[in-house]
Amino acid sequence: MDIEDFVEKRWLHSHEEDVAGQRVFRPDSYAFPLSRGRTAFRLHADGTAEIETPSPSDRGTRRTPATWTLRGEEIVILPEVAGAAALTVDLAEAASGKLLTVPTDRESL
């Protein structure tokens, strides 16, 4: 797979599929079950990104600007908020239409 396969797409957290400390993200075209809100991210070709989290009132989403880089077979997304943890996504499962986060106790998304 090529990095362009992941850029300019909205990837949503499929919490129903999380396993062994890893979070699963799928493209927004996936048939998700109903949910009160999902964390999402979008990578842009210029190296910027957006992270979306459900708002505390469940009435929309909060968008956080971020940047991203490719590090080997991983995408590292860095929020532009002081103290926010990076989100690292492993591309190993990408052929199956899903992205898995690298397990870490520092992730906050």
Residues 8-19 have pLDDT tens digits of: 999 999 999 998
CATH code assigned at 21 = 2.40.128
What six digits make up the tokens of 52? 């979306």
Beta bridge partners of 68: 77
Beta-carbon contacts of 7 under 8 Å, excluding residues fewer than 6 positions away, are 43, 44, 45
Q: What are phi and psi of 3, to 5 degrees?
A: -60, -30
Q: Is the pLDDT of residue 21 over 60?
A: yes
| 70 within domain boundaries | yes
| 57 within domain boundaries | yes
| 54 within domain boundaries | yes
> Domain count of the chain?
1
Q: What's the mean pLDDT in 87-96?
A: 87
Q: How confident is the model at residue 36 (pLDDT cuts 50, 70, 90)?
A: confident
Q: Is the pLDDT of residue 1 over 80?
A: no
| pTM, 2 dp | 0.85
